[in-house]
Structure 1
């Protein structure tokens, strides 16, 4: 199973995400960029794992990289060339094991999802949505509805939701989440949603933390409105309550919008 490196980066004030990506791509022994996204907002905040770095930093860039050499993947920070470190003011890193078949099929699957996004259907769930006080249980809240409206003023295309997952060790948390995943395929699929990348978080020997994140997933939605349409739907909330909520000890869900890697070469601006 290939090891990739996951990064959240806060860049120096003079460095844009596109200029950083351009420098990364042209660096000697550059890693392959699987995903590059702009973090927009947190839907779910962590409750006990890495709360300070994940919830307090205004992140500029999310990267999933395949290092140029296997040795680099054992230290996530080493997959970003040292020459670029001065452009970074804060970072959060993980090592991720991703099945080879997912990496091999990702470019074609992602292209297909992007082509289909403009015609993805909505179910109308938002028209009669009942909001909850918070989105922490992955329900539609007034704050999330406001963030949806704010994002739509500048961007109406597909979003990629980052999920960091820590499973309950007692009571079959991982198995329950797998059942949630099977239901999610149908519920999200009828709105054009799909999991693009799923991988296991690798903890290296000698790490101080006794526990941490177990899994990462990056999930495509045709737009932020399609994501909120799903949360407002009783079909989604049925599997959420039955399988997902009890399966997780902690989780993070971050809304991001992917950057066009071609723009990082041309220098074209990106919202």
Structure 2
């Protein structure tokens, strides 16, 4: 296992994502992963909530840095707020992330519209805290997205804290998700790890997972599906003490989507 440092960053007014990444490049820093933050899909209810949700902070950037790599002092003046965590990940998984991510970002993907999403007409009820299900607010947000966002892949950052004795139940959720749900909707775990330290040392986060979806509509279709909700209800909800999901979009050093526009090829 090696350490990977996760940083969720809010930039000061007037500081662009591309400009911030350029400063990192000037110091020879190339993040393992870099993504523009789009929005919260699930809010934390307890752990880190005071920091992540305080003053309605607008988060701009999600970075993953290798062990020993720190943000240069020259970038601190550009940062309005930051939340960080250190995670143990498999050395092979970390080394292979770039290749895997490039493959996922460039693979052909089927076009899905909101009309293809189960329950899109109403979005169902407002989701319970921690529950991953389609909501009317999600539907409205997705419908409002510009095409250059809606037609590119998204990555979901999941932070997880488990109820006592429930980690094996959550592992079974991962198995069932991969077998029954993920492959049907293009969901693929890109990297996961064990949280060894976070912004507040007593927060108690246990694991993180970073999950790929071909587009935001693929994610919505998954969340609205009967198969997912069966797995969610049986294995996921009871295992979690707290969680958050942050929707991101992988970007290049110019701050643009790292994936090509959606084509007509099918998964």
TM-score (norm 1): 0.84
1:15-54 map, 5 Å:
15-27=15-27, 30-54=28-52
* Structure 2: stretches of 5+ with no match in the other structure: 257-267
Distance 1:196 1:59, change over 3 A: same
Contact between 1:166 and 1:215, CA under 8 Å: does it hold in 2? yes
* Structure 1: stretches of 5+ with no match in the other structure: 73-78, 266-271
Distance 1:65 1:113, change over 3 A: same
CA distance in 2, matches of 1:216, 1:52: 19
Residue 98 (structure 1) aligns with = 89
What's the CA shift for 1:2?
1.3
Distance 1:25 1:159, change over 3 A: same
TM-score (norm 2): 0.86
1:260-271 map, 5 Å:
260-261=252-253, 263=254
Contact between 1:125 and 1:233, CA under 8 Å: does it hold in 2? no
- The alignment's C-alpha RMSD in Å is 2.3
Residue 158 (structure 1) aligns with = 153
CA distance in 1, matches of 2:111, 2:166: 32
Residue 10 (structure 1) aligns with = 10
1:182 correspondence with 2:175: yes
Which has the larger helix fraction? 1
- Structure 1 runs (4+) greater than 4 angstroms displaced: 120-125, 127-130
1:1-271 map, 5 Å:
1-27=1-27, 30-55=28-53, 56-67=56-67, 69=68, 79-119=70-110, 126-128=117-119, 131-134=124-127, 136=129, 137-155=131-149, 156-169=151-164, 172-186=165-179, 187-203=181-197, 209-261=201-253, 263=254
Contact between 1:120 and 1:222, CA under 8 Å: does it hold in 2? no
Contact between 2:185 and 2:222, CA under 8 Å: does it hold in 1? yes
CA distance in 1, matches of 2:38, 2:128: 15
What's the CA shift for 1:32?
3.5
